[in-house]
Every structure is written in C-alpha cells, then in structure tokens.
Amino acid sequence: MHDIFKTTLTRQARLSAHVWQRRMVFWGGAVVVGFTAVLFSLGSEYANRLFQRLPGYSPYLPLLVTPLGLTLIVALTRRFFPGSEGSGIPQSMGAIALTNHADRTKVLSLRIACGKIGLTMVGLLVGASVGREGPTVQIGSAIMYSLSRFARFSRLEVERGLILAGGAAGIAAAFNTPLAGIVFAIEELSRSFEERTSGNTMTAVVIAGVVSLGCMGNYSYFGHTSISLPLNLSWMAAVICGLAGGLAGGMFSLILISVAAKGLPGRAGSIMKESPVLFAGICGLLLALIGLASGGHTYGTGYAEARGIIEGTDNLPPSYAIMKMLATLVSYLSGIPGGIFAPSLAIGAGFGDNLAGIMPIAPVSAVVILGMVAYFAGVVQAPITAFVIVMEMTDNHTMILPLMAASFIACAISRRICPKPLYRTMAEGFISRIKSPG
C-alpha cells in the first residue's frame, strides 16, 4: 500500500512538472512573440519612412528602385525562404491542419520567420503596398511551434495550443489590440476553438499584449475618435457602407483566389508561371506607375493615409481607394512576403471618404470608420475580428453597434460574391503544395 501511494505521488509530481514546463513554454514564447512583434513594427515603420524620402529626390526614382527591389525579394524568397511568401495567415491556418512535423516546418520555422521579417521590411523599403500584421501571425506561430521541442506536447496541444496561441499573440502585439487577438484566434485561425487550449491561448495573447504595451505605450494606430452615430436616418450609412464594402472586398478576394487557382490569362500568366522573378520585376514597375499616378500615396502600409482621412487632414485624390487596391493587388500577386491587413484598412478608409461625400446624413469621420470596417470584413470574411480591430484601433466604443452592423452586412455580401473565404482557400492551397505523400 505504501509503495502504491509513493508511486502515485511520484507520478503526480512528474505530471505537475510537465504541466509547469508546458506553461513556461507558452509564457516564455508569448514574451518572445511580443518583443519580436514590437521590433518588427519599429523596423517596418522605419523602412516605410526611408522610402517616403525617395520621391523627395525624384518622383521617378521608384520606377527603378521598386522593380529591382521586388525582383530581389522574390529571388531570395524562392531560393532561401520558400513558404514565406504572401500574408502568413494561410500558412498558420494550414499548419494547424497538417499532422506531419516535416510538413509543418515547411511553413513554420525560425528560418522562415527571419526571412518573413527581413523580406517584408525590404518590401516596405522599396515601396510595396503590404502590411506586417499577417506576417506577424506566421512569425508568432513559427516561434511558438519551434519552442515545442522544450516540453512534451500532445498533437492536440501543438495544433490548438502553440500554433494558435502564437498567431493570436502576433495579432495582439502587432495591432496593440489584445481583444482582437483572442477574437481572431477563435473566428479565423480555428473554427473549432477547444476549451482545453483556450486558457493557454488567452494567456499568450495577454502576455504578448502587455509586452507590446510596455514597449510601445498605450496608443491606438488611428488615434482617439469620439464620433458617434445617432439612432436615426444616419444609420443608413452603416447599411450603405456595408453593401459597398462587401462588394469591393468580395471582388478583391475573388480576384486573388482566381489568380491563385488559375493564374493570369495570356502572356502575363505564362511569365508568372515560368519566370516568377521576372514577373515580380514587372509588378514592381506597375506598382511604381500606380504610385506615380497617385502622387506617391499608394506606397507602404497606408497607415498614415488612413489616419489622415479619419482626422480630416488628408490631401488625397478621390481615386485613392481604387489605386491603393490596385497597388495591394499587384504587390500580393508579385509573390513577395507581406500582408493585406493594413492596406485593406487604408482602402476601406478611402472608400468611406468617397461615400461620405454623397451621404451628408452622417458625420464624415463616422462614415470613414464604417467604410474601413466594411471593406476589411468583406476581404477577410471575419466580421467579429473586423469590427473589434477597428474599434480598438480607433479607441472608439460608442460606434460598436453600427460597426457590427456594417461588418456583418459586408461579410454577407462578400460571401455572395466570393463563397470561399480568402485565407481558408489560400491555406488549402498551401496544404496541397507541401503535404507529404501518405
């Protein structure tokens, strides 16, 4: 009896040690993800500012720098960092579905994470219309997954724990929006959120958010807006923005999915398939021409332009939203690493600004924010994540109900145009390309 009791205590002690070891991996990983996201943010903003100086010397310099830059990025991506191209969110989603460790490491490894960071910043340095938030999801997932070697994890814990928590922590730290990180993990990264892993995920999100808060301070990307929408005819703005944003966002997603599945038609499609590095250079030239036509406003993440539109201090052409959408589309199709979160918010703000000119029934800033959330929801088809991110980034809780309305309307319209969600479809493509036989 004494031996049985002693054996039971020993087993419990070992189990407790394993539990605390796993927790330390989660907590330590979340700290690393938080610091990495902060450094990535600072580096990306610095690269973006450096490029903004270029047109000051000559507005035609991007015609040389951007094509050469995109050519170099794609060459390095295909040679040294395959799996790092594009947003990064589909890779994390695909990794959750994969069961083979070797397959997962093709999209989640420290080497790919380093490549994602460096090449995304180079993309911003040469004027690509990309964001760092999607890449931060893949980077966070890769960091957390790489730490699994330091503790004993079951398959479920790896899938629903480390990868999920890393991606959610990346969103929380990238946007400085912890609530959005949790919602994103539930709504987008995993459709079947397990109670068993929810605590670890939420803890990782909170820790990464605290690290970001401690390093960057308590701020919101688009400042503080106290604008509200009275419960009267002005609510039509939420409906109209939802319809327009869903239509535009759904078309954007449909184009990306169609090109990913079938390629471009004609000679352009042949070059894209047979000479991807040359195709990237052509995309760079198109990107520079779009930038030249827009007065240099379509380069980079679009954060400055979106904030200027919200605050009413912008000096953008009426065609800004369309040109930014084209620049983002060209940047993504070029095959470089980079996300569409930040550019989508800027595009939505541009569309909102256009709609505000024909809707005097509502305050301009309110329509801009509604346009932002509607287009974003139309692209990602994750309505809760969309309105939570915009709500936290504008530090405005008085607009929550109209934001919800516009977001859900946009998502419904987008699904009519593009039945398959963008990220989930891209994730299926990654899975089919990297999955080992058997």
Going 215 to 88 to 47 to 310, the CA torsion angle's sign is negative
Measured CA to CA, the distance from residue 128 to residue 120 in angstroms comes to: 9
Across 149-153, 201-205, 314-318, 395-399, which has the greatest mean pLDDT?
Answer: 314-318
Question: SS3 of 131, please?
Answer: strand
Residues 13-31 pLDDT 10s: 454 666 666 777 777 888 8
**pLDDT higher than threshold 70 for residue 342:** yes
pLDDT digits (tens, 9 = 90+) for 224-278: 566 767 667 777 889 999 999 999 999 999 999 999 878 888 888 899 999 999 9
Greatest CA separation for the chain? 86
Structural domains present in the chain = 2-216 (1.10.3080.10), 233-434 (1.10.3080.10)
Of the given ranges (71-75, 234-238, 391-395), which has the lowest mean pLDDT? 391-395
- Whether the model pTM is above 0.85: yes
Three-class SS of residue 339? strand
The pLDDT value recorded for residue 261 is: 79
Asked whether 350 and 321 are in contact (CB, 8 A), the reply is yes
Provide mean pLDDT across the span 144-156.
70
In this predicted structure, the answer to whether residue 370 has a pLDDT above a threshold of 60 is yes
CA dist 146 to 103, 113, 151, 226, Å? 13, 10, 11, 42
Q: Could you give the CA distance from residue 141 to residue 161 in angstroms, rounded to a whole number? A: 10
Alpha-carbon gap, residue 333 to 129, rounded angstroms: 11
Q: How far is CA 98 from the centre of its chain?
A: 21
Burial code of 150-161, b = ≥16 C-beta within 10 A, e = fewer?
ebebeeebbbbb
pLDDT the model gives residue 102 = 80
* pLDDT at site 192: 44
Q: Which of 326, 316, 325 is nearest to 294 (CA)?
A: 316
DSSP state of 435: P
Angle (deg, nearest 10), helices 2-57 and 164-175: 40
User: Predicted confidence band at 9 (pLDDT cuts at 50, 70, 90)?
Assistant: very low
